[in-house]
Structure 1
């Protein structure tokens, strides 16, 4: 399975396109063969302390080698060191970037056929 492409990104909106996994989201999770909305209420996530291991558990079960995290357009979403350690402890490489840069990086890796997942915040 291949990772879907992020076809468009604007403030508060992302469009994912892939075989059997297309959709429009505010914040989203993408992985080889799938995508879905990232609902912060599921794990109690907020800008501070930021992305939690529980936000990433689902993605880390998808057989990925790389994870790209988008911190928002203004990088308001924090990513604690403990969360990065959690991902690396599962043998997955992780990259954290401003969301526009994160989407570009994710799309490049997906186009190369890499086993990449992403989690993106499309506002602040």
Structure 2
């Protein structure tokens, strides 16, 4: 199963190919995507992305995770989150969201089992 392409991205809106939902923040993995609801894990801009935010994506058997920190990179990514991914043998890229989406799409096009979490505002 391949990772779906991020079809479009603009402030506060993301579309994933093959999905009719317009996301504000989203999670993607080989074969699917869904809304990334920060309330599920108590995530805020600081301290930022928690390992719990990534567990679902990790369980999909990804080899690489791309984290989009927002258009202005306001979303933090603590070292503990990067360490969690590395301990699970997963490569991690932490980038501004537009760059993250482009990198994610490039990896997906190469057939990499890539997943990601993307914040589409600040």
TM-score (normalizing by structure 1):
0.96
What is the RMSD of the two structures over their aligned residues, measured on CA atoms?
A: 0.8
Number of the residue aligned with 1:83:
81
| CA-CA distance at 1:22 after TM superposition | 4.8
Number of the residue aligned with 1:112:
110
- Asked if 1:56 is matched to 2:51, the reply is no
TM-score (normalizing by structure 2):
0.98
| CA-CA distance at 1:23 after TM superposition | 2.8
The answer for unaligned runs of 5 or more in structure 1 is none
The answer for unaligned runs of 5 or more in structure 2 is none
Alignment counterpart, residue 74 of structure 1, candidates 63, 72, 92: 72
Structure 1 segments of 4 or more deviating over 3 A? none
Number of the residue aligned with 1:94:
92
| Alpha-carbon distance in structure 2 between the residues aligned to 1:22 and 1:113 | 23
When the two structures are aligned, how many residues end up with a matched partner?
122
